[in-house]
Amino acid sequence: MRRLVLGSTSRYRAELLRRLVPTFEQRAPGTDETLRPGEAPAEGALRLAMAKAEGAARGWPDALVIGSDQIAELDGDALGKPGSAEGARVQLASCAGREVRFHTALCLLDTRDGRRRTHVDTTGVRFRPLAEAEIARYVEREQPLDCAGSFKCEGLGIALFERIDSSDPTALVGLPLIALARMLREAGLAVP
């Protein structure tokens, strides 16, 4: 079996990848995740996914390397990770009653020949109206400080939504497994 490398330190992405394959290496890609001036969120997510795969591929001459990135978009502007409880409360208040689009990009890099397989999934999330007190309770309870959009849909964050429109529910968590399973099969890795 070929070596599989996840170019991410995200525990959420690692948990998702374990659904498809039992063993893989996990490596920090060392990628600057700053969007370029004027860069559209979907384009930025794809550029960063490719950069993460390339960064994590260094030193692996015969591996399949996965890079992924997610950028939330509200009214054309990117929403980053809040980093603080106050930032999360402000971000959730701005999303309340509105639709946020989550662009989750994926790159599978084959280090033998340099081939890149890429995919971008866009998920629409309609937040329900949220009162300030329930936002504060949610942020205190779940601490979504490292999540774009300030929520964890795999946890209590699902209660913040009216609906989710997606072709791949795992994309919202951070790794589109439907597309990844296809890419791994195309690269010759047996994925049931």
Question: Which residues are the active-site residues?
Answer: 69
CA-CA distance, 81 to 78, in Å (whole number)? 10
Paired with 109 in beta bridges are 65, 116
Is the Cα dihedral 144, 147, 152, 154 positive or negative?
Answer: negative
Rounded distance between C-alpha atoms, residue 41 and residue 45, angstroms: 6
Dihedral, CA of residue 108, residue 28, residue 170 and residue 142, to nearest 10? -170
Q: Residue 167, Cβ neighbours under 10 Å: how many? A: 11
Sign of CA dihedral 122, 29, 107, 1: negative
Selection from 188, 146, 173 nearest residue 17 by Cα: 173
